[in-house]
């Protein structure tokens, strides 16, 4: 899968595939998909797989179309634990 960085979470409305939604989530959390692909490729593949298999694409698209601060998707996202861990690692400089 090709990784592209997105400008912001409003891009969720452009596509509802797991890959599109994951990129929007990474952007909303301030995580770089390019850096993640370079440093944690296995984790990125796991995130992509979980997003692709998720049954909540429609709900996720709606939630991601809201303001970036709205993280209600974290309540049902199968990647929420890993995304939180990655965000914490990024905040502590383990980029």
Q: pLDDT digit string (tens) for 34-92?
A: 999 999 999 999 999 999 999 999 988 888 887 666 778 889 999 999 999 999 887 77
Exposure letters 65-74 (e unless 16+ CB within 10 A, then b): eeeeeebebe
The predicted structure's pLDDT at residue 46: 96
Tokens encoding 4: 């592209």
> Does pLDDT of 1 surpass 60?
no
pLDDT tens-digit readout, 2-16: 334 444 444 444 456
Judge whether 22 and 48 are in contact, CB under 8 Å.
yes
Residue 35 CB neighbour total at 10 angstroms: 15
Residue 5's SS3 state is coil
Half-sphere exposure of 51 (CA within 13 A, CB side): 24
Kindly report the pTM of this predicted structure: 0.75
């Amino acid at each position: 899968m090709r990784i592209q960085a997105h400008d912001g979470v409003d891009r969720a409305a452009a596509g509802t595939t797991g890959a599109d939604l994951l990129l929007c989530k990474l952007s909303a959390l301030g995580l770089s998909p390019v850096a993640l692909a370079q440093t944690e490729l296995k984790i990125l593949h796991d995130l992509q797989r979980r997003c692709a298999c998720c049954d909540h694409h429609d709900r996720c698209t709606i939630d991601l179309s809201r303001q970036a601060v709205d993280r209600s998707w974290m309540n049902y996202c199968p990647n929420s634990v890993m995304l939180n861990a990655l965000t914490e690692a990024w905040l502590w400089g383990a980029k």
